[in-house]
Amino acid sequence: MKILVTGGAGFIGSAVVRHIIKNTQDDVVNVDKLTYAGNLESLSEVSDSGRYAFEHADICDKDAMDRIFAKA
């Protein structure tokens, strides 16, 4: 299964991403705009996983989201 996490670079989102990568066999696509709360350092332990992908995008941007969904 492929799971889309929005805001996955924030405090709660990054914990969700780390939990999924560590405890399941699912793939994770993390979509984050990287505003004040986003911190990619909190994902350093999963960033090298072949099951993790980061997309720098705003979920309000339809074209960006269409592109992300097309990859899936």
On whether residue 71 sits in a domain, the answer given is no
Instruction: Give how many domains the chain has, as a whole number.
Output: 1
**pTM for the whole thing?**
0.91
The identity of residue 1, as a single letter, is: M
On whether residue 34 sits in a domain, the answer given is yes
Q: What pLDDT is stored for residue 27 in this prediction?
A: 98
On whether residue 68 sits in a domain, the answer given is no
Q: What pLDDT is stored for residue 72 in this prediction?
A: 75
Q: What pLDDT is stored for residue 37 in this prediction?
A: 82
On whether residue 29 sits in a domain, the answer given is yes
On whether residue 69 sits in a domain, the answer given is no
Q: What pLDDT is stored for residue 49 in this prediction?
A: 97
What is the arithmetic mean of pLDDT over 55-68?
98
On whether residue 51 sits in a domain, the answer given is yes
DSSP structure string for the chain: -EEEEETTTSHHHHHHHHHHHHH-S-EEEEEE---TT--GGGGTTTTT-TTEEEEE--TT-HHHHHHHHHH-
Domain extent, residue 15, equals 2-63
On whether residue 70 sits in a domain, the answer given is no
Domain with residue 56: its CATH number is 3.40.50.720
For 5-57, the pLDDT digits (tens) are: 999 999 999 999 999 999 999 999 999 999 888 899 999 999 999 999 999 99
